[in-house]
Structure 1
Amino acid sequence: MTLGEYIKGYRKSNDMTMDDFAKKSGLSKGYISMLEKNRHPQNGKPITPTLETCKKAASAMGLSVNDLLGKLDPDTPIEMAEPQPETPKLDGVYLSFAKQAQDEGIDPDDIMRVLEVLKGARKK
């Protein structure tokens, strides 16, 4: 059983609309619809819910996330962490400045103030 199938069964057995479940879970009605159909409307691919989505759905149904996951097919894919934006690469010189500042216990706010002064001096 997929997460969407479980949500749909829960909603039906509790006389809940998608709007009701959306309000209770904090998930959008559109996303609940995609979960229940297990298809993304734009690309037709199956939906892979995040762990956070599972937590919200579980809470709305009065379950622990572990209990909910135990009710799903064992091969149901779950995105364990939200994708993180790529961290920009620092040039070696800038990285060494940051490391030195950290090693010497320089407050990041002080560094920001110095940078603002330098920016102002460059504009003149």
Structure 2
Amino acid sequence: MYKIFAKLLEENGVTPYQVSKATGVAQSSLSDWKNGKSKPKFEKMKKIADYFGVSVDYLMYGEEKNSQQELSSIYLSFAKDAQQNKIDPEDIRLAIETIKALRAKQQED
């Protein structure tokens, strides 16, 4: 996996330090990843993938997977985050309804 990260660094002309500063992923995490001491958690990989404008699948495997799988991973990540922050399903339903109402209002304007 780090080989793909290194390739992206080279292609984009950036350093691990710059990626660390831009994403908030600690340089020590990147170093541990490089040295095989650890693998980054999904949230960190998502930040790095977003920084480079690629999917997490690309960052992990060097190829794009099914976009439906990518969406499922994103939604699962949000669900885990909501659960960890004690956000219940009713709060999520309310947030979705609020977003729908705001979008509908924007379309009217």
TM-score (structure 2 length as normaliser)? 0.49
Greater Cα radius of gyration, structure 1 or 2? 1
| Structure richer in helix, relative to its length | 2
TM-score (structure 1 length as normaliser)? 0.44
